Amino acid sequence: MKNTASSKERYVVLMAGGRGERFWPLSREKTPKQLLRLLGRKSLLQLAVERLQGLVPPSRVFVITTAVQAAEVRRQLPRLPRANVVIEPMGRDTCAAVALGAAVVAARCPGAVMAMLPADHVIHDAARFRQTLADAFDVAAREPVIVTLGIPPTEPATGYGYIRVGERLELPHNSPRADTIFHKAEAFVEKPTVERAREFLQTGRYRWNAGMFVWSVPTLLRGLEEHQPRIHAACQRWIATGHSPARLARLLRRDYPTLPRISIDYALMERATNVVVADASFDWDDVGSWSALARHLPRDAAGNTLQADCVTVDASGNLVLDARPGSARTLIALVGVQGLVVVHTRDAVLIVPKDQAQKVRDLVRKLETEPKYRSLL
Amino acid sequence: MKNTASSKERYVVLMAGGRGERFWPLSREKTPKQLLRLLGRKSLLQLAVERLQGLVPPSRVFVITTAVQAAEVRRQLPRLPRANVVIEPMGRDTCAAVALGAAVVAARCPGAVMAMLPADHVIHDAARFRQTLADAFDVAAREPVIVTLGIPPTEPATGYGYIRVGERLELPHNSPRADTIFHKAEAFVEKPTVERAREFLQTGRYRWNAGMFVWSVPTLLRGLEEHQPRIHAACQRWIATGHSPARLARLLRRDYPTLPRISIDYALMERATNVVVADASFDWDDVGSWSALARHLPRDAAGNTLQADCVTVDASGNLVLDARPGSARTLIALVGVQGLVVVHTRDAVLIVPKDQAQKVRDLVRKLETEPKYRSLL
């Protein structure tokens, strides 16, 4: 690894291609979760870019997205250079997206350190987030390791993958403020039962896998070469296109359909021996469902989150969201209901109990089978 | 009582002035329950008039309603003479409405027999209904009795008043097909607890009070004279206006505010000693709430009544009704919900569990306190 000035350049690749079915009817193919203003004036993607302010400039932030979402991504991020919005010709799971992100960064700076981050999570404490990320950049710039940010779990969640950590590592830091704790990663564990999740919590040796990774381009390429040679070969071809978006797009259209559909966890993390875990010291929520969203929005005295023109009688713990244009809004009256999610958009109404919000995916599956509901996807 | 041919003329007065709050947001002040097409192409009022076919001609059917509803009543009942739609200047409970109904009938035919019937109940077996009513007319034409139709109870309902019956009466019938059973009424009992209602059912001596009455005009007037002299005096003034709707309307505006607010049950039925009960042999439902309505509409395999563009996942026993114009309809998606009522109109959405549907009245009370919701009443 060359150790020139440019090799220390920091890049961030935001993965923003998700379909966000769990926020239907608000999320659609063209406007998945990360493009929605779920928490206020700014979309989760805009907040994700804003959160990097002072750490990585917009010129070094890339967004990987889909063709149908690219226009909206560019509209939401006017300060990002047009070429920094990179379009996957199709979904091919996260390992392909990681290789693509690494290729566009490597074409600019072959020795760069880079972070791959989801664009649809909620993190309120941006300062501590930047500190953890800066420490991870430092380590990845000096050591040939794959850094994954691990979230210390606060409850026996069954919806996340876990990482078991081993010995604590004393890694040299650049920053005098650096205080992030690093461990060796021992194992990646898929979503557990609640009993196992409780055990994980008790041991103190497990972290939630938040899908946030930091590495140097050379370290990642060596990992891909060893564990995913076909994806590595495609990645090298993409790097060779240099700065030509048109040439890259042509290559991607040819290569993508031939790539294995495999997640970066399964393709690389579970196989590599040089993975370290940086403990996140910031709050984190992947807001995986309507019920998770309610946690981040203000509530009335009865525990209702009412982002709509609502009247309630004996109703508590409900989330009501009216996303219709102001003139099209109507009164939504809740009588005697508890813990319900009600979402009203221009063309659909969803009603689901909070504790079954994950079933919205099944609903989207069902809509996909009916041609007449095509416009609702 | 004169026994001329005209004294046998049969009249029906339908009471159609209810506010129908329990079917909000579909029912409004201008279109209460009886004017809604809850069961198909025809409103409950239209069905109530149709049900009389062959027994009483439209020229002898009167409808008592309110000023805001009169235009829609006339529109729905084009075969009724215009003067047969009688407007109460304000709601003054049922005794005043009964006196008004008797006055307009008496002005046409002082010795008539007449039925006072609600316009917002559901009765499917029209033939048996007409037979019971014909038998009641016969008895009321020959005997100085107040006939009330009693519904043999099928469950320990707590939402109805009950009538305790005494000895069975052998009354002369005109019709060779007459088979209605008559009893002396012993007592009118207000809505009971479920324990008392169970006792009532076991004795076999109780009937539901359905608010359906038959009497001759002279018999009713004698009853009012004895038990409600103020209302009787007003009624005599109204009869004296003869056939002039304008004179009657002026008198009503003057008299109505001075009348006691009292129900016919409390004002007359509970006090009179000449009340007899005719057992109804027809089905009957007063459809007092959204959940009651669901019993009369078709269901899918999961027990959902879906009068809307609906997609369901793990949803059962729900009632969904979209009353928006076709072009304004949107998909309504139910995921994991049971026994819910969802009603969508042009300007409001209601969500309430079936077993709490009676609380819709509380909601309407709440809307009445907010000037901005005036248009929703």
Instruction: Point out which residues pair with B320 in neighbouring strands.
Output: B306, B342
pLDDT digit string (tens) for B72-125?
999 999 999 999 999 999 999 999 999 999 999 999 999 999 999 999 999 999
Tokens 């891909």 -> residue: A224
pLDDT at position A240, please? 94
How much is the ipTM here? 0.87
Give the model's confidence band at B147: pLDDT under 50 very low, under 70 low, under 90 confident, else very high: very high
Q: Among A340, A342, A373, select the one facing B331 at the smallest CB separation.
A: A373
pLDDT at position B19, please? 76
Instruction: Point out which residues pair with A359 in neighbouring strands.
Output: none
Residues of B with CB under 8 A from a CB of A: 25, 311, 313-314, 330-337, 340, 342, 344-353, 356, 359-360, 362-363, 366-367, 370, 373, 376
Q: Which residue is closest to B358 within chain A, CA to CA? A: A335
Across the interface, whether the CB atoms of B363 and A335 are under 8 A apart is answered yes
pLDDT digit string (tens) for B124-143?
999 999 999 999 999 999 99
Kind and range of the H or E run holding B127: helix B126-142
pLDDT digit string (tens) for A300-325?
999 999 999 999 999 999 999 999 98
Burial (CB < 10 A; 0-12, 13-18, 19+), residue B152, is middle
Residue range B290-296: average pLDDT? 92
Q: Which residue is closest to B365 within chain A, CA to CA? A: A313
Instruction: Point out which residues pair with B342 in neighbouring strands.
Output: B320, B351
- Is B47 a residue whose pLDDT tops 70? yes
Instruction: Point out which residues pair with A38 in neighbouring strands.
Output: none
Across the interface, whether the CB atoms of B376 and A342 are under 8 A apart is answered no
Across the interface, whether the CB atoms of A356 and B314 are under 8 A apart is answered yes
Distance CA B14, CA B64 (A): 6
Instruction: Give the three-class secondary structure for B188.
Output: strand
* Chain B residue numbers touching A356 (CB-CB < 8 A): 314, 335-336
Cβ atoms of A212 and A79 within 8 Å: the answer is no
pLDDT digit string (tens) for B157-190?
998 999 999 999 987 655 556 789 999 999 999 9
* Chain A residue numbers touching B350 (CB-CB < 8 A): 333, 335
pLDDT at position B202, please? 95
Question: In this prediction, what percent of chain B has a pLDDT beyond 70?
Answer: 97
Q: Among A346, A351, A356, select the one facing B342 at the smallest CB separation.
A: A351
Instruction: Point out which residues pair with A213 in neighbouring strands.
Output: A116, A148
Question: In this prediction, what percent of chain A has a pLDDT beyond 70?
Answer: 97
Across the interface, whether the CB atoms of B333 and A348 are under 8 A apart is answered yes
Q: If phi over 0 gives left and psi between -120 and 50 gives alpha, with beta otherwise, what is residue B303?
A: left
Angle between helix A93-108 and helix A229-239 axes, rounded to 10 deg: 30
pLDDT digit string (tens) for A350-372?
999 999 999 999 999 999 999 99
Cβ atoms of B352 and B359 within 8 Å: the answer is yes
- Is A296 a residue whose pLDDT tops 50? yes
- Name the minimum distance, in Å, from the CA of A64 to any CA of chain B: 31
Domains of chain B by start residue, with CATH: 6-279 (3.90.550.10), 290-376 (no CATH)
Across the interface, whether the CB atoms of A344 and B342 are under 8 A apart is answered no
pLDDT at position B65, please? 96
Give the model's confidence band at A174: pLDDT under 50 very low, under 70 low, under 90 confident, else very high: low
Distance CA A260, CA A227 (A): 12
Cβ atoms of B108 and B11 within 8 Å: the answer is yes
Across the interface, whether the CB atoms of B333 and A349 are under 8 A apart is answered yes
Residue range A13-42: average pLDDT? 90
pLDDT digit string (tens) for A107-125?
999 999 999 999 999 999 9
| C-alpha to C-alpha distances, B338 to A24, A271, A340, B293, nearest whole angstrom | 20, 46, 12, 17
pLDDT at position A5, please? 37
Across the interface, whether the CB atoms of A356 and B350 are under 8 A apart is answered no
Q: What's at B168, amino acid-wise?
A: R
Question: In this prediction, what percent of chain B has a pLDDT beyond 90?
Answer: 89
Across the interface, whether the CB atoms of B333 and A344 are under 8 A apart is answered no
Q: Which residue is closest to B377 within chain A, CA to CA? A: A331
Q: What is the mean pLDDT of chain A?
A: 93
Angle between helix A217-227 and helix A229-239 axes, rounded to 10 deg: 140
Retrieve residue A359's tokens: 């079933």
pLDDT at position B51, please? 97
Q: What's at B183, amino acid-wise?
A: H
Instruction: Give the three-class secondary structure for A165.
Output: strand
Distance CA B302, CA B312 (A): 10
Tokens 């009538």 -> residue: B163
φ, ψ for residue B177 (rounded to 5)? -90, -5
pLDDT at position A175, please? 56
Across the interface, whether the CB atoms of A359 and B333 are under 8 A apart is answered no
A·B CB contacts under 8 A: 112
Across the interface, whether the CB atoms of B336 and A347 are under 8 A apart is answered no
| Full-model pTM | 0.87
Q: Which residue is closest to B334 within chain A, CA to CA? A: A351
Q: Which residue is closest to A350 within chain B, CA to CA? A: B333
A1-10 burial, b at 16+ Cβ within 10 Å, e below that, comes to eeeeeebbbb
- Is A1 a residue whose pLDDT tops 50? no
Instruction: Give the three-class secondary structure for A144.
Output: coil
* Chain A residue numbers touching B360 (CB-CB < 8 A): 335
Which of B313, B343, B362 to probe the A interface (max A CBs under 10 A)? B313
pLDDT at position B137, please? 95
Query: In sequence order, what DSSP letters do the residues of A11-64 get, joined into one string?
Result: EEEEE-----GGGTTT--SSS-GGGS-SSSSS-HHHHHHHTTTTTS-GGGEEEE
Cβ atoms of B63 and B80 within 8 Å: the answer is yes
- For the ranges A96-110, A243-257, B163-177, the lowest mean pLDDT is seen at B163-177
Retrieve residue B277's tokens: 């009960």
pLDDT at position A177, please? 62
Cβ atoms of A58 and A10 within 8 Å: the answer is no
pLDDT digit string (tens) for B206-258?
999 999 999 999 999 999 999 999 999 999 999 999 778 899 999 999 999 99
Question: In this prediction, what percent of chain A has a pLDDT beyond 90?
Answer: 88
* CA-based nearest residue to B264, from B302, B295, B235: B235
Contacts from A37-46 at CB under 8 Å and sequence distance 24+?
A38/A287, A38/A293, A38/A296, A39/A122, A39/A296, A39/A297, A43/A76, A44/A119, A44/A120, A44/A121, A44/A122, A44/A287, A45/A14, A45/A16, A45/A73, A45/A76, A45/A77, A45/A119, A45/A120, A46/A76, A46/A77
pLDDT at position B326, please? 85
Distance CA B95, CA B114 (A): 15
Angle between helix B229-239 and helix B93-108 axes, rounded to 10 deg: 30
Retrieve residue B355's tokens: 């077993």
pLDDT at position A230, please? 97
- Name the minimum distance, in Å, from the CA of A28 to any CA of chain B: 15
